[in-house]
Structure 1
């Protein structure tokens, strides 16, 4: 069922932001963003000849707004890395379209792992990786839609397939960061050089 991973991820994000995060402006923005993404996922708009899901526009606008708010020179770095990830996204989608024999698992999962890997290569911080993933995926979806426009003029920009892959990629990054955090905690508690802890 398309959209299942998307809804699960954003409902979980809303629950964590609403009930577990401290009451800050960032928490409010995150909760509102999750609710707007959920409510706009099934709505589409037609801009000229382009069919676009409103959630795609919300994700792209929120990601651009967050990128611009970063420290000086960071937006340029984010723009360059997101462009690289966009080409990686478009290349994978075109490969799956013209040579599907390489897609031996669910295409959404393989695409999500690919995007998560590329974003990890570009950035070290989790927030920057998630932002690069969102921006690059949106740009890559636009490049892919432009490439297949003649073959599929009714293609919906930001469909549930795109949203699922983006949500799975973000979940992979969060899971990896959680594993890394607990591994560091265990490493700090481990005795050094055979000595016993008091």
Structure 2
């Protein structure tokens, strides 16, 4: 069922933001963003020849706003890394289309791992990786739609397969950051040899 990873990811984000985070403005923005993404995923917007879910435009615009407001890294580098991830996304989708023999596992999962690796090569901080993933993924989907426009003129930009791959990638980045944080906490609490615990 297409869209199950997308809905599961954003419902999980909404539950964590609503019930487990401290009452701050960031928590309210995150919960509202998750609900807006869930409710707008089934609404299709048509601008000229471009057809896309409303959630696709919301994701791209909110990512641009967050990149300008928060600046997790320098904006020129974020723009370059997002462009690199966009071309990596489009290249993988075109490879899966024209030479599917290379896709020996589930295509969405392979694409998600590919995006995680590319975003991890460009950035070290989680916020920068997530922004690079969102911006680059949206741009890559647009590049892919342009590349196959003649073969599939009715292609819907930002389908549920795109959102599923993006949700899996974001989940992998969050899980990796959680594992890294826990390992650092355990490393700090581990006693040093030759010292006695009080």
Q: TM-score, normalized by length of structure 1?
A: 0.96
Compared CA separation, residues 100 and 71, structure 1 to 2 (3 A): closer
Query: Which runs of 5 or more structure 1 residues have no equivalent in the other structure?
Result: none
Query: Which runs of 5 or more structure 2 residues have no equivalent in the other structure?
Result: none
Matches within 5 A, 1:24-173: 24-71=24-71, 74-173=74-173
Q: Deviations over 1:130-155 (max 9, x none)?
A: 11111100000000000001001111
Count of equivalent residues? 198
- Alpha-carbon distance in 2 for matches of 1:54, 1:71: 25
- Alpha-carbon distance in 1 for matches of 2:72, 2:183: 33
- Alpha-carbon distance in 2 for matches of 1:157, 1:193: 57
SS where residue 52 of structure 1 aligns?
A: strand
Deviation at 1:192? 2.0
Deviation at 1:27? 1.2
- Alpha-carbon distance in 2 for matches of 1:138, 1:153: 18
Q: Deviations over 1:43-74 (max 9, x none)?
A: 11211111111110010010001011134972
CA root-mean-square deviation: 1.4
Mean CA deviation greater in 42-51 or 168-177: 42-51
Q: TM-score, normalized by length of structure 2?
A: 0.96
Large movers: runs of 4+ above 4 Å: none
Deviation at 1:194? 5.2
